[in-house]
Amino acid sequence: MSKGMNNKDGPEGSYSDTETEGEIFNSLVQYFGDNLGRKVKAMPLVEETTLLEDSSVTLPVVVIGNGPSGICLSYMLSGYRPYLSSEAIHPNTILHSKLEEARHLSIVDQDLEYLSEGLEGRSSNPVAVLFDTLLHPDADFGYDYPSVLHWKLEQHHYIPHLVLGKGPPGGAWHNMEGSMLTISFGNWMELPGLKFKDWVSSKRRKLKGDRVMPEEIARYYKHYVKVMGLQKNFRENTYITSVSRLYRDQDDDDRPDRNISTQHLQIEKSQFIKRNWEIRGYQRVADGSHVPFCLFAENVALATGTLDSPAHLEIEGEDFPFVFHSMPEFGAAINKGKLSGKVDPVLIVGSGLSAADAVLCAYNNNIPVIHVFRRRVTDPSLIFKQLPKKLYPEYHKVYHMMCTQLYSVDSNLLSDYTSFPEHHVLSFKSDMKCILQSISGLKNIFKLSAAVVLIGSHPNLSFLKEQGCYLGHNSSQPITCKGNPVEIDAYTYECIKEANLFALGPLVGDNFVRFLKGGALGITRCLATRQKKKHLFVERGGGDGIA
C-alpha cells in the first residue's frame, strides 16, 4: 500500500500537500478491487494539487459543499466506522437491546430503519434522530451523557470522493463572525471523533460557558479536516456551474454518453461504475483568475446548506441602504457606531432564531426595537416552542417579550421593545419610514433608524436544472429548509426524484449540526451496501471495468 494510504492510521495522520497519481490510483484500486487494477493503470487521475483538472475518471462520489455536512460525510466515506462502546449503556433500554443484538457490527452495517423505530427527536428524519441519540443521549433533557459510540478507521471501507467548497472547510461558519452565540452548545456542534472541548483546551483557550462563538466553530471544522487526514478529499475555491445527468436509462449499458465528446472517453462505461453525472465549474486561483474544470461522478451528494441567498419581502423600498438582510450586516452597522445614540427604533422582521439574535443584539446595545412577524405568539410551530427554557434562557427572554410587550393602538411604542404579532411590512420609504399592516387591515407608520429583514434564506442550486425545484416536496416552489426541503428516502437520503443524487443537512430540513450527521450515516450505509453488491457481481464474473 502507498505512503498516502498508510498515513491514515489514526486521527493524527495527515496527507502531504501533494499526492502522486499513483497514490490516488491505489485508493481507487482499493475501492474497485485489485483484479480491476490493470483496467485503470494508464488513466490520468485527479491529483491533490491546488487546481482541479479535467478528469476522465468517474469518481464514485462528488460532494458539493464543505460545511459540517460535507465534512462529516467525507469522514465516514473515508472508512471511519461507529461501533457500540464496550462499556456503554444507552438510557433508552429498547434501543440499547437492539444495539446489543449486533454489537459486533458497525452502525453503518446495521438496519437503520429497525434501530430508528419508535425514537422521537427534533428532526423529522429518523436516521438523524437515531444518530443524535447515539452521539448525545437524552441531550434535549439537559443531560450531558457521553456518546455510546467509539470510532474505528477501517481503510478497506474507503470510498474515493471529492468535497468541493467555495471557501475553507467549515462552509458558511466562516462568514458568521461577529454574530451572537451559536444556538447550540459547543459539544453539539462537534463532529465525530474530536471533542470540541478537547480541541479548545489543546489551543489553550477557555470556554466561557457551554455556548461558543461561530468563529471558534469555523476554526474547529477547518482543524478537524486536517487532524482526521481528510485534506486529500477537499478542494477549496471551487464554484459549481452545472451538475447534469449524462444518461437516464440506468440499465442500458450499451447506450453512448450523449453529452461528452469522444476525446474524453478514454475507457468505455461498464456495469461496474457508471458515469451518471457531469460536474462543471471553475476554481479561483491566487491571481483572481478562474480555471474551469469538468469531473464525472457516479453519485453526487448535495451538502450546500441554505444560507446562500437571504429571503426578501419583495416589497417597495426594500433595497434602500438602511434595510439589512443578514445578522453580520446589522452587527457591522452597530459595531461601527452607525446606530448609537439613535432615538428611532430598529425594525426587525421575522420570528426565527436569526430575528431573535437581532433583537438581543439591539436590546443589549440599548437600541429600541419594533419586532414584526406574521404568526400568532401562540403558534405551536414557533422555534421557541422547541427549545428547552433551561438551555436557552436568552431566546425565551425574547419569546416572553414577544408575548407580553405587545403594541396597542391606545399607547405609544415601548421604550425598549414592542411586539407586532400578525403584522407585515407594506413598504419602506426614502425618509426611513415604514408602513405596517395588521391582520385586520389597520395600518401604522413608523420612523426607523434601520430595518433588519430575517425571514429565512434559500440555497443556491442554480447548477441544477430548474434551480433544483423539481427535487422538493413541492416542485413549483424554491427549495427551503422548513417550507420545501428536498424530498429524500428517509433512510438512504437519496433524492426521490433523482437516482444517484443525495442530499443532507439544511437542504433536507436538518438545520442543526446535531442532526445533519444522520445524513452522512444514511448516505454512507447506502453507498457501502451498493459497493458490496458490485463486488459480489464482479467476483462472479459479471463485470470487469470502470467508466
Closest by CA position to 217, among listed 233, 197, 234 = 197
Instruction: Kindly state the cell numbers that stand for 456.
Output: 429565512
> What's the pLDDT tens digit per position in 94-120?
999 999 999 999 999 999 999 999 999
CB 283 within 8 A of CB 235: yes
Q: pTM for the whole thing?
A: 0.75
pLDDT at position 209, please?
Answer: 54
* Grid cell 443537512 in the structure block, residue: 505
Instruction: Kindly state the cell numbers that stand for 230.
Output: 481528510
Looking at the predicted structure, is the pLDDT value of residue 305 above 90? Answer: no
In whole angstroms, give the CA distance from residue 278 to residue 228: 29
Instruction: Kindly state the cell numbers that stand for 417.
Output: 421593545
pLDDT at position 196, please?
Answer: 77
CB 58 within 8 A of CB 274: yes
Instruction: Kindly state the cell numbers that stand for 164.
Output: 468541493
Find the largest Cα–Cα distance for the chain: 84
- Which contacts of 389-397 are long-range, i.e. CB under 8 A and separated by 24 or more positions? 390/142, 391/142, 391/185, 392/183, 394/360, 395/183, 395/353, 395/356, 397/360
C-alpha distances in angstroms, 299 versus 52, 81, 269, 543? 18, 21, 15, 19
Give the angle subtended at the CA of 154 by the CAs of 149 and 158, to the nearest 5°: 115
Question: Quick one: average pLDDT of 14-20?
Answer: 32
pLDDT at position 248, please?
Answer: 54
Closest by CA position to 515, among listed 78, 223, 189, 197 = 189
C-alpha distances in angstroms, 32 versus 52, 62, 530? 22, 16, 12
CB 46 within 8 A of CB 61: no
CB 546 within 8 A of CB 39: yes
CB 186 within 8 A of CB 198: no
Strand partners, 472: 486
Strands (E), 165-304: 234-235, 238-245, 277-284, 290-302
The DSSP code for 546 is -
- Tell me which of 7-16, 132-141, 253-262, 333-342 is least confident: 7-16
Instruction: Kindly state the cell numbers that stand for 132.
Output: 443524535
Looking at the predicted structure, is the pLDDT value of residue 212 above 90? Answer: no
What does the buried/exposed string (b/e) look like for 12-33 if buried means 16 or more CB atoms within 10 Å of the residue's CB? eebbeeebeeebbbbbbbbbbe
Closest by CA position to 347, among listed 322, 372, 378 = 372
The DSSP code for 306 is S
> What's the pLDDT tens digit per position in 349-395?
999 988 998 999 899 889 999 999 999 999 998 989 878 787 778 88
In whole angstroms, give the CA distance from residue 266 to residue 279: 18
Would you state the torsion angle of the CA atoms of residues 514, 388, 195, 146, taken in this order, to the nearest 10 degrees?
-100
Strand partners, 434: 428, 446
Instruction: Kindly state the cell numbers that stand for 47.
Output: 491529483
Looking at the predicted structure, is the pLDDT value of residue 18 above 50? Answer: no
Q: Which residue has the higher pLDDT, 188 or 283?
A: 283
Question: Quick one: average pLDDT of 232-237?
Answer: 92
Amino acid at position 219, single letter: R
Amino acid at position 91, single letter: P
In whole angstroms, give the CA distance from residue 54 to residue 224: 28
Looking at the predicted structure, is the pLDDT value of residue 323 above 60? Answer: yes
pLDDT at position 308, please?
Answer: 66
Mean pLDDT value across the chain: 81
- Quickly state the pLDDT bin for 425 (edges 50, 70, 90): very high
Question: DSSP 3-state assignment of 260?
Answer: coil
The DSSP code for 14 is -
- Quickly state the pLDDT bin for 176 (edges 50, 70, 90): low
> What's the pLDDT tens digit per position in 513-540?
889 899 999 999 999 999 888 776 555 5
* Grid cell 453519485 in the structure block, residue: 299
Closest by CA position to 81, among listed 103, 108, 112 = 108
pLDDT at position 208, please?
Answer: 52
Looking at the predicted structure, is the pLDDT value of residue 86 above 70? Answer: yes
Question: Quick one: average pLDDT of 450-466?
Answer: 93
Question: DSSP 3-state assignment of 397?
Answer: helix
Amino acid at position 472, single letter: G
Looking at the predicted structure, is the pLDDT value of residue 35 above 60? Answer: no
Strand partners, 435: 427, 445
Question: Quick one: average pLDDT of 298-327?
Answer: 91
In whole angstroms, give the CA distance from residue 449 to residue 451: 7
**Sign of the C-alpha dihedral computed for residues 513, 60, 462 and 493 taken in this order:** negative
